[in-house]
Amino acid sequence: MVDIQVTQSHEVTVVALTGDLDTASAPRLKGTLEDLLARGKTRLVLDLFGVAYIDSAGLGELVRAMKRSRECAGDLRVCALHGDVLRIFEMTRLTEGMGVYPTLNEAVASWR
């Protein structure tokens, strides 16, 4: 299960996740992100500091959301990757194709 908290930082929407991002929780994240995009919130930062586990469904949802936000003239950036989650991003080379930042502040500042 994943807890999702959405906040606004200037023109950037921050989605902070806590828990596991997996097959069970990916649909909930999808619904949240689709709702944000439908409301014109296309500058997205996903704070993954609280995520200790991610599986292929979670990764797939992040890639889908990134593509969808780019279709809406925005983008999705992720921050605060650590441990196994960071290793998975590196192994799948998502660190090369997605905006990845060490901290939330850096990810938000990248929009300025």
Could you tell me the mean pLDDT of each successive run of 10 residues in the chain, 112 residues long? 94 97 96 96 97 96 95 96 96 92 97 86
Assigned token pair, 79? 């921050």
Assigned token pair, 83? 């441990």
Q: In the chain, what are the domain boundaries?
A: 2-101
Domain 2-101 coded CATH 3.40.50.20: no
Instruction: State the pLDDT at residue 10.
Output: 86
Instruction: State the pLDDT at residue 97.
Output: 87
Instruction: State the pLDDT at residue 1.
Output: 86
Instruction: State the pLDDT at residue 4.
Output: 98
Q: Strand 99-101 relative to strand 2-9: parallel, antiparallel, unpaired? A: unpaired
H-only helix segments in the chain? 26-38, 56-71, 83-91, 94-97, 104-109
Beta bridge partners of 77: 45, 99
Instruction: For residues 18 and 78, give the distance between their C-alpha atoms in angstroms, rounded to a whole number.
Output: 14
Q: Strand 12-21 relative to strand 2-9: parallel, antiparallel, unpaired? A: antiparallel
